[in-house]
Structures are given as C-alpha cells and as structure tokens.
C-alpha cells in the first residue's frame, strides 16, 4: 500500500504545537486505524509498537497507522500465545513485559501513552527530567504530579483500556 504523507509536518522542539482540533483529529484517526486492525481484520493484527513516530500524517493532519515491522497476526481462537517482547520503551504495557503476551490491550496501552504525549507535548521517555526529578517515563511523571492528576490518570487509562476503539471513537466524537 502506498499513502501520500505530509513531509513538511515534522514538529520540532520550540516550534508552535498542534492546536487542539488537530490533536483530536490525530487521536481519532489513530484510534480508527487501531480499531480496524483489531476488529475488522481477519486474522486480527496486533501492532505492538503504537507510538507517535508510527503515525503518519497527510497534509490535512489525518492520521494513518504505519510501521508494521513488529505486528503480529492473531488467531482469535488462541488466547495464550506468548511472544518475545518487542516495542519501544515507554510505550510497552507492563503486562506485556511481565507475561510476553501481546493483545489489543497492549496496543491500547501504547495508544494511551501516545495520547499523553499528544496532550502534554512531552516525550514518553525524557532523560532531561532526571535533572529535576526521578521520573524518566512520562507515565511516572504524570502520576507524580498530584493525587488529583494521578486519580484522573488512572480513570483515563481504565476508561481507554476497557473500551473497544469503536466505543472510544464514539465517546470522543460526541464532545
């Protein structure tokens, strides 16, 4: 498959960030792509490396999930298939690290980290944070901000991980 992407869309540190409607478009386009892989492909496709760098944008900032080098085809009848852990640190779900079992939920975790990057404008792993705190991972950094933020974060991840992408897309497009 060949897809026309926006080669001028590279975002650099210090430059203006995406406006909120554009961020929402990127988030929804990515969710739609993952929903297609998880719900409409037979066999299902688990991407295993969902992150901002693997989302291509066209000139209208419409998102297309790309880079399927780590993807796995999943036979829905086999639920306990273990694989060697692959992916990008900071985006890998803890249960995938501990069990070696990838699933739609591991893609959802990576998507959640990508959403945090999209909302905060920070990278999933940032060693410069070590100068001021102990948290290199964006996930840990957000958790440590405050108890209220941590609570919202837990609710957010629970919400995203419990819903299918179709439900999430419906919820976000209502607002």
Pairing state of beta strands 72-74 and 55-57?
A: unpaired
48 sits in the region (left: phi over 0; alpha: psi -120 to 50; else beta) called left
Q: Which of the following is catalytic: 8, 49, 67, 75?
A: 49
5 CB-side CA count, 13 A:
14
Any catalytic annotation for residue 126?
no
**DSSP assignment, residue 127?**
G
Query: Any idea which residue has 């066999």 for tokens?
Result: 43
First vs last C-alpha separation in the chain: 33
Structural contact between residues 23 and 77, judged by C-beta atoms closer than 8 angstroms = no
Question: Rounded distance, CA 118 to CA 126, Å?
Answer: 15
Nearest by Cα to 65 from 83, 82, 81, 46: 46
Q: So which residues are the catalytic ones?
A: 49
């Amino acid at each position: 498959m060949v897809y026309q992407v926006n080669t001028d869309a590279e975002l650099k540190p210090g430059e203006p960030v995406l406006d909120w409607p554009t961020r929402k478009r990127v988030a929804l386009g990515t969710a739609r792509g993952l929903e297609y892989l998880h719900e409409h492909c037979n066999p299902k496709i688990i991407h295993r490396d969902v992150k901002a760098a693997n989302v291509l944008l066209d000139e209208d900032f419409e998102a297309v999930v790309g880079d399927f080098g780590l993807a796995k085809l999943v036979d829905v009848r086999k639920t306990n298939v273990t694989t060697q852990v692959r992916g990008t640190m900071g985006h890998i779900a803890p249960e995938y690290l501990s069990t070696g079992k990838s699933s739609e939920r591991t893609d959802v975790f990576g998507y959640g980290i990508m959403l945090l990057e999209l909302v905060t404008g920070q990278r999933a792993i940032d060693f410069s944070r070590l100068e001021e705190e102990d948290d290199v991972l964006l996930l840990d950094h957000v958790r440590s901000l405050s108890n209220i933020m941590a609570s919202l974060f837990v609710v957010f991840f629970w919400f995203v991980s419990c819903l299918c992408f179709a439900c999430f897309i419906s919820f976000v497009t209502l607002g």
